[in-house]
């Protein structure tokens, strides 16, 4: 299972679909990704974005561990929030549901 998750994360870095904005610098500004685009985008993009969000909201001095159950719960909560707030941006959605 861990190997599969690692493969999905690695593969998602190679695939940028409609959710991840194309830019000359390859930077991804999460404040510009609308919830509506996130929930209608590809699974590969969702894995990439959610993995980054999980790392961003992890304590700076915390252990280098991604808690699978917590990550799945956050992903579910962000998806549910975005389904109900399609015009909000993904970063605001994450800040709202991850406490």
**By C-alpha distance, which of 17, 36, 18 is closest to 88?**
36
Contact 49, 38 (CB under 8 A): yes
Q: Which of 12-16, 39-43, 54-58, 95-99 has the lowest mean pLDDT?
A: 12-16
Q: pLDDT tens-digit profile of 7-22? A: 444 444 434 444 555 5
**Unique residue bearing structure tokens 């993904």:** 90
pTM to 2 decimal places? 0.72
Q: pLDDT tens-digit profile of 77-94? A: 999 999 999 999 999 999
Question: For the residues 49-76, what does the mean pLDDT come to?
Answer: 90
Measured distance CA(6)–CA(89) in Å, rounded: 26
**Unique residue bearing structure tokens 């549901």:** 97
Contact 20, 45 (CB under 8 A): yes
């Amino acid at each position: 299972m861990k190997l599969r998750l690692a493969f999905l994360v690695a593969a998602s870095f190679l695939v940028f679909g409609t959710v991840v904005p194309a830019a000359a610098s390859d930077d991804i500004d999460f404040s510009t990704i609308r919830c509506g685009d996130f929930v209608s985008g590809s699974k590969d993009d969702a894995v990439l974005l959610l993995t980054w969000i999980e790392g961003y909201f992890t304590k700076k001095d915390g252990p280098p561990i991604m808690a699978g159950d917590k990550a799945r719960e956050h992903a579910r909560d962000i998806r549910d929030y975005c389904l109900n707030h399609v015009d909000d941006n993904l970063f605001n959605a994450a800040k709202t549901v991850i406490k």
